[in-house]
A = this chain, B = another copy of it.
Amino acid sequence: MSASPTTAPSAATIANIKEKARLLSIYSMMSTTAAGSGHPTSCMSAAQLVAGVFFYAMKFDPKNANSNDGDRFVLSKGHAAPLLYSALAEAGVFPVSRVMTLRQLTSELEGHPTPLIHGVDAATGSLGQGLSVGAGLAIGARMDKSPTRVYVLTGDGELAEGQIWEAASFAGHYKLDNLTVICDINALGQSDPTMYQHDMEVYRRKFESEGFATEVIDGHDVAAVLSALDRAKATKGQPQAIIARTIKGHGFSEVAGKMGWHGKPFSKEQLAAAIKELGGTPPVVPPDPGKSYRRTDLPKPPDFPDPPAPEYAQDKPIATREAYGFALKRLGKVNPHIVGISGDVKNSTFSEIFQDAYPDHFFQGFIAEQNLVSAAVGLAARGKVPFADTFACFLSRAYDNVRMAAISRANINLCGSHCGVSIGEDGPSQMALEDIAMFRAVHGSEVFYPSDAISTERLTEHMARRAGINYLRTSRPKMPILYSKDEKFPVPGFKVLRQSAQDKVTVIGAGVTLHEALKAADELKAQGIAIRVIDLYCVKPLDGKAIAEQIKATGGRLITAEDHWPEGGLGEAVLTALAEVGVAPSRFKLIAVTKMPHSGKPEELVDAFGISARHIAEAVRAIA
């Protein structure tokens, strides 16, 4: 990095940061010893780095540590949580005594950080995700023209995660010069030395190749740490990477630089020896009075006025994927917080309609789905309302990111297009057949599967208002309009599209199978068999009682049909919702894709793989 225009840090400043680092190391060791678990050596390698960031570089209000007006810190190496908690305590966010409640059942200071802790924006602990979160925070800050900076601390083991390099490319491409990553290169992984150990130049070159300003420092030399942070802050036009050579367990010679100490707390004897070796006055930490500092002000998506109603020609079929793009555009009119990001498929998912209308609110995510989702988490932490899209099947590339987003209590919206066999000739690599199961098994998620443009629009609107992880499954084929523009779509909820007093069987579908069920209904009607047809636009949550009432009307006879594998999808969801209210179908068929699909025309595949009107009608006749 180029020389900093500011003067070098004073001797007093350096001494202060050294002292902070000493305390952070000691608190990390004390808390993990008290807990009987945790990662003290992973904390000790980064003590000077974190002390420098927290007490020299970062500007934030400890009473409002998540404020958009303050600098932000992301601990990508989440297992160094005690170090972060110690820094937050020393900064005045909560008392040091609280740090000693680490990992206890009733403490908000968990084994890995979550946003239930002031100053934490996203849960970490699954490695390699924090730089993406930081990039999301940084790009959000830029959108807000905020002068705040984002600091991310990574380990070195996690630099093997491909996502780090997705994030680095993204940060370099968007020239996020308000983003500084500090890499704690301590050379030792969990079970083996890392791939590159202390070959610092390898790491420096990698970040440099992504467009970062880089430098290599001794991570335990406080003067060097502070100067590097100054130079980073002064760098324009590029994100910065400070590659710090460190020693795992630095400061305690019994463990420093030795394999076998990952994730091992010190015994009481070792703790005493380490504190002694670190020198200075051993800190005295009073017993914790038991007051919780759990954060209660988690961000919620900002409210916004009702947008104008969606307008679609009733007689013109349109794909739900295309309606999604129009929905975002319609919402963008009244909600300036919406940010769209796409994994290079905006012309397939139609988020390009939003981009064309609000180009400053859209980012190309390129083909990097892990970064797509974690950057959305960063954006959401700043109060943005992210809508990230790709093909539904490619969201499986980001399942760990979605999982961590749930632990982060993040408010993100995901749209997966091209679901199921109904996409046709591209074949199974592009067909999502497990995404309903995936997204149902995400804590606090809502899962939507609209069958027409109007419901797509209204559900997208609902998603923009709702906190948590919201998933919208869109389809490739054009579908007729089913609803008028003023129709409401309660959550939970479903629409009964065909009903009579003579209904023999209830058929529940969504997307392509809803339309196939309607075709089957017409076919069967001509044969004197009436069926009830339900559009299950909301797959999670489900109102078991309401569904039970419907099947009661058809003597308990129920068929579900989905363009999805049988496991964990719409059918299982319905069955379980019924069982939870003590109801079971009297006769039941779960129609789903059971064989591995292949290429073919959409209508050929829908029939060949068992989910067409013909199959639904056959199933009805079998159980009616």
Interface residues on A, range: 35 or more
How far is B394's CA from A158's CA once the two chains are assembled, in angstroms?
A: 13
Name the contact of A429 in the complex, choosing from B107, B125, B169, B540 (C-beta under 8 A): B125
- Chain B residues near A189 (CB-CB < 8 A): 344, 366-367
Stretch touching chain B among A274-282, A318-326, A440-448, A493-501: A440-448
In the assembled complex, how far is the CB of residue A473 from the closest CB belonging to chain B, in whole angstroms?
Answer: 14
Stretch touching chain B among A13-21, A378-386, A581-589: A581-589
Inter-chain contact B157/A162, CB cutoff 8 Å: no
* Interface status of A317 (Cβ within 8 A of chain B): no
Inter-chain contact B599/A157, CB cutoff 8 Å: no
How far is B588's CA from A342's CA once the two chains are assembled, in angstroms?
A: 43
Inter-chain contact B394/A437, CB cutoff 8 Å: no
Stretch touching chain B among A327-335, A346-354, A520-528: A346-354
Residues facing B in A186-234 (CB within 8 A) are 189-192, 194-195, 202, 205-206, 209
- Chain B residues near A568 (CB-CB < 8 A): 437, 440-441, 567-568, 572
Name the contact of A157 in the complex, choosing from B36, B367, B566, B596 (C-beta under 8 A): B367
Copies of this chain, whole number = 2
* Interface status of A575 (Cβ within 8 A of chain B): yes
Stretch touching chain B among A88-96, A307-315, A401-409, A450-458: A401-409
How far is B264's CA from A347's CA once the two chains are assembled, in angstroms?
A: 13
**With A400-B397, A573-B567, A599-B105 in contact, is A368–B427 under 8 Å at CB?**
no
Name the contact of A110 in the complex, choosing from B163, B394, B427 (C-beta under 8 A): B427
Inter-chain contact A345/B190, CB cutoff 8 Å: yes
Name the contact of A438 in the complex, choosing from B126, B399, B425 (C-beta under 8 A): B399
In the assembled complex, how far is the CB of residue A414 from the closest CB belonging to chain B, in whole angstroms?
Answer: 14
* Interface status of A124 (Cβ within 8 A of chain B): yes
* Interface status of A119 (Cβ within 8 A of chain B): no
Interface string of A392-435 (1 = CB under 8 A from B): 01101101100110110100000000000000111111100110
Inter-chain contact B596/A407, CB cutoff 8 Å: yes
Stretch touching chain B among A48-56, A241-249, A600-608: A600-608
**With A162-B368, A344-B189 in contact, is A104–B579 under 8 Å at CB?**
no
* Interface status of A100 (Cβ within 8 A of chain B): no
Inter-chain contact A166/B157, CB cutoff 8 Å: no
How far is B604's CA from A107's CA once the two chains are assembled, in angstroms?
A: 13
**With A157-B367, A434-B403, A440-B437 in contact, is A347–B190 under 8 Å at CB?**
yes
How far is B191's CA from A364's CA once the two chains are assembled, in angstroms?
A: 9
How far is B429's CA from A123's CA once the two chains are assembled, in angstroms?
A: 8
Inter-chain contact A434/B442, CB cutoff 8 Å: yes
How far is B567's CA from A588's CA once the two chains are assembled, in angstroms?
A: 20
Name the contact of A599 in the complex, choosing from B110, B370, B404 (C-beta under 8 A): B110
* Interface status of A598 (Cβ within 8 A of chain B): yes
How far is B114's CA from A104's CA once the two chains are assembled, in angstroms?
A: 50
Residues facing B in A13-45 (CB within 8 A) are 35-38
Inter-chain contact A434/B426, CB cutoff 8 Å: no
How far is B371's CA from A442's CA once the two chains are assembled, in angstroms?
A: 24
* Interface status of A3 (Cβ within 8 A of chain B): no
* Interface status of A103 (Cβ within 8 A of chain B): yes
In the assembled complex, how far is the CB of residue A259 from the closest CB belonging to chain B, in whole angstroms?
Answer: 10
**CB-nearest residue of chain B relative to A428?**
B407
Inter-chain contact B364/A192, CB cutoff 8 Å: yes
**With A190-B348, A205-B209, A608-B105 in contact, is A367–B128 under 8 Å at CB?**
yes
* Interface status of A340 (Cβ within 8 A of chain B): no
How far is B575's CA from A338's CA once the two chains are assembled, in angstroms?
A: 40
* Interface status of A303 (Cβ within 8 A of chain B): no
How far is B301's CA from A483's CA once the two chains are assembled, in angstroms?
A: 53
* Interface status of A136 (Cβ within 8 A of chain B): no
* Interface status of A127 (Cβ within 8 A of chain B): yes
Name the contact of A425 in the complex, choosing from B103, B397, B585, B604 (C-beta under 8 A): B103
* Interface status of A111 (Cβ within 8 A of chain B): yes
Inter-chain contact B440/A567, CB cutoff 8 Å: yes
In the assembled complex, how far is the CB of residue A161 from the closest CB belonging to chain B, in whole angstroms?
Answer: 6
* Interface status of A60 (Cβ within 8 A of chain B): no
How far is B573's CA from A573's CA once the two chains are assembled, in angstroms?
A: 11
Inter-chain contact A567/B441, CB cutoff 8 Å: yes
Name the contact of A601 in the complex, choosing from B105, B164, B370 (C-beta under 8 A): B105
How far is B316's CA from A287's CA once the two chains are assembled, in angstroms?
A: 38
**What would 23 A/B residue contacts be, using CB atoms closer than 8 Å?**
A35-B425, A37-B425, A105-B600, A110-B427, A112-B429, A125-B429, A126-B394, A126-B397, A157-B344, A158-B367, A160-B368, A162-B162, A189-B344, A192-B364, A394-B400, A396-B403, A437-B567, A440-B567, A441-B569, A566-B576, A568-B572, A575-B575, A576-B590
18 other contacts beyond A190-B345, A191-B344, A369-B400, with CB at 8 A cut-off? A104-B599, A111-B425, A111-B429, A112-B427, A114-B427, A126-B430, A127-B367, A128-B162, A160-B344, A169-B195, A173-B195, A209-B209, A397-B399, A397-B400, A407-B596, A434-B442, A438-B438, A579-B590
5 tightest A-B CB contacts, nearest first: A162-B162, A125-B429, A584-B584, A568-B568, A105-B600
